[in-house]
């Protein structure tokens, strides 16, 4: 495939993805209806726009200074510039990863850590957590504090 054809293919691919995202998020509000996009992955908004979560959890830990730090600081994530979002998405997909993060952090330090899980209800208040859970992380694993 020539360089020009490859660039055109990539540009069209990005534009179709953007059209599908806009169709699922703002077309109903702006146009009053959704557009009929021929490709099934664009028509139905797979996978990203099918179901949006109504509650989200934000993870952090208390450092030695007593301040909150992103949990992603404890996880070596190959995601330059978006490691916190990457780690949050990993935990959304598999909440058991929190125990694995605790296990690795407990092995790396001698003092126990406190993991803080803030839960936000997106339909109510996005600025204040609806629930906060503190978990003690040490060599015995995770336990409510």
Same domain, 27 and 80: no
Kindly report the average pLDDT of the chain as a whole number: 83
Q: Could you count the other beta carbons within 10 Å of the beta carbon of residue 104?
A: 12
**Residue in this structure with the two tokens 């839960």, named with its chain if needed:** 119
Same domain, 104 and 72: yes
| pLDDT over 70 (residue 51) | no
pLDDT given at position 41: 58
Bridge-based pairing of strands 113-121 and 141-144 is unpaired
Strands lying side by side in the sheet with 68-70: 68-70, 55-62, 113-121, 131-138, 141-144
pLDDT given at position 61: 93
Q: Into how many domains does the chain fold? A: 2
Same domain, 128 and 72: yes
Assess if residue 79 is contained within a domain. Answer: yes
Query: Pick from 62, 47, 140: which is nearest to 99 by CA?
Result: 140
Mean pLDDT over 8-24 rounds to 83
* Helix runs in the chain, H state only: 3-25, 27-31, 40-43, 83-93, 97-108
Same domain, 61 and 81: yes
pLDDT given at position 76: 77
Same domain, 71 and 131: yes
Same domain, 70 and 122: yes
Same domain, 33 and 59: no
pLDDT given at position 122: 84
**Which residues form the domain of 67?**
55-144
Mean pLDDT over 58-73 rounds to 90
Q: What predicted TM-score, i.e. pTM, was given to this entire model?
A: 0.62
Same domain, 18 and 89: no
Assess if residue 48 is contained within a domain. Answer: no
Assess if residue 126 is contained within a domain. Answer: yes
Mean pLDDT over 69-82 rounds to 81
Mean pLDDT over 36-61 rounds to 68
| pLDDT over 60 (residue 94) | yes
Assess if residue 49 is contained within a domain. Answer: no
pLDDT given at position 43: 53
| pLDDT over 80 (residue 21) | no
Q: How far is CA 137 from CA 70, 99, 127, in A?
A: 15, 9, 26
- Answer whether 137's CB lies under 8 Å from 72's CB: no
């Amino acid at each position: 495939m020539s360089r020009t054809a490859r660039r055109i293919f990539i540009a069209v691919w990005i534009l179709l993805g953007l059209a599908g995202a806009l169709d699922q998020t703002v077309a109903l509000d702006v146009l009053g209806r959704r557009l009929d996009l021929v490709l099934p992955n664009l028509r139905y908004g797979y996978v990203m726009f099918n179901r949006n979560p109504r509650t989200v959890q934000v993870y952090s830990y208390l450092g030695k200074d007593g301040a909150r730090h992103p949990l992603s600081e404890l996880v070596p994530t190959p995601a330059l510039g978006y490691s916190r979002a990457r780690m949050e998405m990993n935990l959304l997909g598999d909440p058991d990863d929190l125990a694995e993060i605790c296990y690795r952090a407990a092995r790396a330090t001698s003092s126990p850590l406190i993991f803080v899980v803030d839960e936000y209800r997106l339909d109510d208040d996005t600025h204040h957590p609806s629930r906060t859970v503190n978990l003690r992380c040490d060599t015995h694993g995770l336990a409510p504090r």
